[in-house]
Structure 1
Amino acid sequence: MNSEEVVATEVLIAGAGPVGLMLAGELRLAGVEVIVLERLDEPTGESRGLGFTARTLEVFDQRGLLSRFGDIQVTDLGHFGGLPVDFSVLGTPHAGGAKAVPQSDTEAMLEAWAGELGAGIRRGHSVVGLEEDADGVTVEAENASGRMRFRAKYLVGADGGRSFVRKAAGFDFPGTASTQEMFLGDVKGADIQTRMIGETLPGGMVMAGPLGDGVFRIIVCERGTEPKKRDAPPSWDEVSSAWERLTGQDISGGTPLWLSAFGNAARLATEYRRGRVLLAGDAAHIHLPAGGQGMNTGVQDAVNLGWKLAAVTKGTAPDTLLDTYHDERHAVGVRLLMNTQAQGLLFLSGDEVQPLRDVMKELITFDVVSKHLAGMVSGLAIDYGSGPGEHPLVGLRMPDVELVGAEGKTRTSTLLRSGRGVLLDLGEGLAAQGWADRVDVVVAFPHELGPDNALEGIGALLIRPDGHVAWAAPGPVALPQALERWFGPAIPEN
């Protein structure tokens, strides 16, 4: 690296997609300086994702971001491998998640939010080199004017499935290569009939859904075709010809707004952290986009990482806190690949898998099975684990519960707006003086109690900034021990 200018910051993020932008916002909430480097001069406008899972809706709600989307449509309808699943069995307000929200809108909202908080977002900057030492990471980026260097304590690769950061930092990325290729795109001006996900045809699978204004989202997968190494999107002739071979319908007269190709490769980084370099989103895991889980899992990676990286960067928590990011989110990645590969077998295979589909259809009629599958796909079932004798809620995400305190009614989700930890005191008379700079103490009580209330029988809760429960009373772990584990040592009183 021979550029003389060095721009210093505390954290560098490669990639200004939803994952990188969410992480930037989380870091700025905690007061950490951050610069995001994005190779594209402008957003593409493409929207591979069309909504959020229920857990991502909760995450956005925790930060007060849902209102920025306007009127969001929430649906109970979902699927697992193309087989319908009723997500209302989860019993949450967000059910199966939001629909018809283009990923481009999500990116625009997150970029505005992160920018308002003071994140530096530099478009047209491609990361082309990095060097790590004991004190930080130096990154070389290339833009239209040449090359420049950036220096930070930590670097996060949120730069997608072909991540330069992952490769340059030497992360292992094992898994399976694509055996099938699919086409995805938005098409206007073609007489396309709606076809639900999971509709298999003798030669493959197609899907088509209306987006409004005469635009259809289509997916085409033709079995027996070898995946191609592409440096550019597929041609419209390639996509429309595959559609006609499978359906008999000629849609070549339509106009593609954008097209892309993807495969069913499944790869997971063996570690999410190597020293001062970390990975999030598709840089850490790639898979078949079944159920739109990719962007959602990446956003949740960012929310898990953000407060931890901020605490370590500011020196309020030890470096070992970052190891919990790998421990918690790598396990989520393992299950993500498992369920997306299982779904791929169900809706991309031929008649040989029909007996399996029939068995799954029977099983899904049982609420316990539907709840398990819906919890897995929605992200609501993610469990970071609890110790022996601890309350079952420890490790799970905190359900949104209405509370009444000295200042009137509020909700557990509202308490997390600032991105700080929350000690919710339900009558124990607890305090956290040594952690007042990191944890808010809120005295409040559930508006209604009953056997279905998540707070029944609990005297106090420690909620992490990402919305997961870190501690509950009564239990075998003392509050100071839990506070120090997740938020670092207390500040001594003068």
Structure 2
Amino acid sequence: MNHQVVVAGAGPVGLWLAGELRRAGITVAVIEPRSERDSRSRALTVHPRTIETFASRGAHHPFVSEGVPLPGGHFGALDSRLDFRRLPSPFPHTLALPQERTEALLEGQALALGAHILRGREVTGFTEHPDHIAVHTAGPHGPSTLQAAYLVGCDGARSTVRAAAGIDFPGTPATVFGWLGDVVLDSPPVPGYSYFGPAGALMAVPLPGGVHRLVGITPRDLTTTWPGDFGLDELRANVAAMAGTDFGLRDPVWLSRYGNATRLADQYRKGRVFLAGDAAHQHFPAGGVGMNVGIQDAANLAWKLAATLNGWAPTGLLDTYHAERHPVGADLTAASRAQVALMTAFTPEGLDLRGLLARLITTLPDLNDHLAAQVSSLAVTYPPATPGDHPLTGTRAPDLALGDTGLFALLGVDRHLLLDLTGSGRLTGYAGRGLHVHTATPHEPPAEFTDVRAVLVRPDGHVAWASAERDEAALAGSLTAALATTHRK
């Protein structure tokens, strides 16, 4: 069986990648060992940049409809929550939506687009050839091999693909073990309940179906030794010690323990193999960022694979996946470690530090905005290829109001978007393979766009080139030079 791309893992990252590839006309198979989706939801939060990414394909409506909008998030479980309402996004909030439902929606979209999702099979290894990769799988009917141009490992922190590729996964071992319990509460606390003090940290999150998630850490969980399986009696004792009640918890749906082992793959690409999501970066689940960063990995990689397979990618485009996303993974793991330090600061000194930072977030709007943009991935900027490029280069393009449409609605995985903001319409001649041109004057653009005359936006919504050049001949020359680096001649 031949496909252009094989994806290992049908979690949110692999499913979004598969859908994106199909939108670009690329044949794709997703290999997933689970015969059915996991009903347990590790991730509960969809961040603003992820909603924007979905919106750039018109795929956001069911998430917005089903998810519960929340006005902020947390950093290190500080008492002062980050205010996302200040973010420059059409979605200045998170969405509370169980991962199981996120996967169901993404799987439905991928299937409708023509992706092949092969459940009950797992990738066991691969053999790389000069012009293709043979992906070996095992399933109930025995071993089989799929031939593809590329293989992407979206198969989690214990990635078989990463191991088979011989990619190192260095980092630090677990020194803290958090825990969670999805249970029924006879006497639930008020929405948004949390506790932090000498006895530990505790948060209660309502889930669909009358279930609450209780998640926390106690001082005795600060250990390098695996404490053993997490049970209902331990959950009850932990909660009662912090809250003074166990909220009448009963009927556990899922009890789990997890550590803060933090690792980052040395390479996001090795030959015809790529890594995305937890296969590339493992960290403590602080702030609900993991799934969201993984989806951004997929958004970055998908259009580059599609451009390469569809024949318009410039030389070396696939190498930019590691160059751009590995630093994001490094920032993610560093921020996660920093949050773990705050989430385990149970000493008097630690509690005072937490109180100080919480007050600073409340009194310094710029600090709130910086942390909120970082947690939500809106702050991700890729380094420009050429020193001296316009300051917008590499930044996330906002959803500019362009007449009767917005920028997000004009994006596509199979092309760059050239916005002609001169009003002359003279750049329409650049339309062609891998490029769509739209002429418009933005309505109330942000300050950084006030003098911009033209902007080239990548399929993943990041600015590839921008110019404030007033001379039309010079503007056209600058654009032609830029396109020589973004599109194959």
TM over 0.5: yes
1:44: how far off? Answer: 0.8
User: Residue in 2 aligned with 1:356?
Assistant: 353
Query: How far apart are the structure 1 equivalents of 2:441 and 2:5?
Result: 38
Query: How far apart are the structure 2 equivalents of 1:59 and 1:186?
Result: 29
Query: How far apart are the structure 1 equivalents of 2:431 and 2:185?
Result: 59
Q: What amino acid sits opposite 2:485 in the alignment? A: R
1:444: how far off? Answer: 1.4
Instruction: For residues 65-110 of structure 1, give each alpha carbon's deviation from its aligned partner in whole angstroms, at most 9, with x where no partner exists.
Output: 1112325443322221112222223243311322x21111111111
Q: What amino acid sits opposite 1:82 in the alignment? A: A
1:169: how far off? Answer: 0.6
Query: How far apart are the structure 2 equivalents of 1:454 and 1:435?
Result: 25
User: Residue in 2 aligned with 1:470?
Assistant: 464
Q: What amino acid sits opposite 1:410 in the alignment? A: T
Query: How far apart are the structure 1 equivalents of 2:310 and 2:208?
Result: 47
How many percent identity over aligned positions?
Answer: 44
User: Residue in 2 aligned with 1:458?
Assistant: 452
Query: How far apart are the structure 2 equivalents of 1:19 and 1:321?
Result: 21
1:284: how far off? Answer: 0.3
Q: Which region of structure 1 is more displaced relative to structure 2, 214-223 or 266-275?
A: 214-223
Matches within 5 A, 1:81-480: 81-83=76-78, 84-98=81-95, 100-194=96-190, 199-211=195-207, 213-225=209-221, 226=223, 234-250=230-246, 254-318=250-314, 320-351=316-347, 352-364=349-361, 365-386=363-384, 387-404=386-403, 409-417=404-412, 419-427=414-422, 429-431=425-427, 436-448=432-444, 452-474=446-468, 478-480=478-480
1:330: how far off? Answer: 0.7
Instruction: For residues 180-225 of structure 1, give each alpha carbon's deviation from its aligned partner in whole angstroms, at most 9, with x where no partner exists.
Output: 1111232114434358576323232221122355311111322234
Query: How far apart are the structure 2 equivalents of 1:305 and 1:197?
Result: 38
| Structure 2: unaligned runs, 5 residues or longer | 470-474
User: Residue in 1 aligned with 2:48?
Assistant: 54
Q: What amino acid sits opposite 2:74 in the alignment? A: H
Moved over 6 A (4+): none
Query: How far apart are the structure 2 equivalents of 1:48 and 1:396?
Result: 30
Classify 1:32/1:266 alpha carbon distance in 2 versus 1 (closer, same or farther; 3 Å): same
Query: How far apart are the structure 2 equivalents of 1:132 and 1:242?
Result: 50
User: Residue in 2 aligned with 1:35?
Assistant: 29
8 A Cα contact 2:167 2:265, kept in partner: yes
Q: What amino acid sits opposite 1:483 in the alignment? A: L
8 A Cα contact 1:74 1:94, kept in partner: no
Q: What amino acid sits opposite 2:76 in the alignment? A: G
User: Residue in 2 aligned with 1:15?
Assistant: 9
Aligned to 1:37, what secondary structure does the other structure show?
A: strand
Query: How far apart are the structure 1 equivalents of 2:20 and 2:229?
Result: 33
Aligned to 2:449, what secondary structure does the other structure show?
A: coil
Aligned to 2:331, what secondary structure does the other structure show?
A: helix
Aligned to 1:80, what secondary structure does the other structure show?
A: coil
Query: How far apart are the structure 2 equivalents of 1:291 and 1:163?
Result: 23
8 A Cα contact 1:420 1:438, kept in partner: yes
Classify 1:28/1:229 alpha carbon distance in 2 versus 1 (closer, same or farther; 3 Å): farther
Q: What amino acid sits opposite 1:66 in the alignment? A: H
Q: Tell whether 2:484 aligns with 1:489.
A: no
Query: How far apart are the structure 1 equivalents of 2:287 and 2:448?
Result: 28
User: Residue in 2 aligned with 1:4?
Assistant: none
1:56: how far off? Answer: 0.7
Q: What amino acid sits opposite 1:482 in the alignment? A: A
1:379: how far off? Answer: 0.6
Q: Which region of structure 1 is more displaced relative to structure 2, 428-437 or 322-331?
A: 428-437
1:140: how far off? Answer: 1.2
Per the normalisation by structure 1, the TM-score is 0.90
Aligned to 2:402, what secondary structure does the other structure show?
A: strand
8 A Cα contact 1:47 1:102, kept in partner: yes
Aligned to 1:217, what secondary structure does the other structure show?
A: strand
Query: How far apart are the structure 1 equivalents of 2:463 and 2:192?
Result: 38
Instruction: For residues 346-368 of structure 1, give each alpha carbon's deviation from its aligned partner in whole angstroms, at most 9, with x where no partner exists.
Output: 12221231232133123212111
Q: What amino acid sits opposite 1:383 in the alignment? A: T
Q: What amino acid sits opposite 2:393 in the alignment? A: V
1:463: how far off? Answer: 0.5
1:370: how far off? Answer: 1.0
Aligned to 2:371, what secondary structure does the other structure show?
A: helix
Aligned to 2:290, what secondary structure does the other structure show?
A: helix
Q: What amino acid sits opposite 2:42 in the alignment? A: R
Aligned to 2:256, what secondary structure does the other structure show?
A: strand
Q: What amino acid sits opposite 1:415 in the alignment? A: L
Q: What amino acid sits opposite 1:402 in the alignment? A: A
Instruction: For residues 121-166 of structure 1, give each alpha carbon's deviation from its aligned partner in whole angstroms, at most 9, with x where no partner exists.
Output: 1011111121222222211111111111111111000001111111
CA RMSD of aligned residues (A): 2.3
Query: How far apart are the structure 2 equivalents of 1:416 and 1:247?
Result: 48
8 A Cα contact 2:48 2:376, kept in partner: yes
Q: What amino acid sits opposite 2:10 in the alignment? A: A
Q: Tell whether 2:77 aligns with 1:78.
A: no
Aligned to 1:187, what secondary structure does the other structure show?
A: strand
Per the normalisation by structure 2, the TM-score is 0.91
- Candidates 18, 23, 28, aligned match of 1:24: 18
Query: How far apart are the structure 2 equivalents of 1:74 and 1:252?
Result: 27
The count of residues paired between Structure 1 and Structure 2 equals 475
Query: How far apart are the structure 2 equivalents of 1:228 and 1:43?
Result: 31
Q: What amino acid sits opposite 1:481 in the alignment? A: A
Q: Which region of structure 1 is more displaced relative to structure 2, 379-388 or 275-284?
A: 379-388
1:420: how far off? Answer: 2.4
8 A Cα contact 2:41 2:100, kept in partner: yes
Classify 1:374/1:116 alpha carbon distance in 2 versus 1 (closer, same or farther; 3 Å): same
Query: How far apart are the structure 2 equivalents of 1:121 and 1:263?
Result: 31
8 A Cα contact 2:314 2:485, kept in partner: no
Instruction: For residues 405-452 of structure 1, give each alpha carbon's deviation from its aligned partner in whole angstroms, at most 9, with x where no partner exists.
Output: xxxx11001001565211111125444757612111111111345xx3
Q: What amino acid sits opposite 1:332 in the alignment? A: V
Query: How far apart are the structure 2 equivalents of 1:40 and 1:484?
Result: 44
Aligned to 1:446, what secondary structure does the other structure show?
A: coil
Aligned to 2:289, what secondary structure does the other structure show?
A: helix
User: Residue in 1 aligned with 2:472?
Assistant: none
Query: How far apart are the structure 1 equivalents of 2:417 and 2:427?
Result: 11
Q: What amino acid sits opposite 2:467 in the alignment? A: A
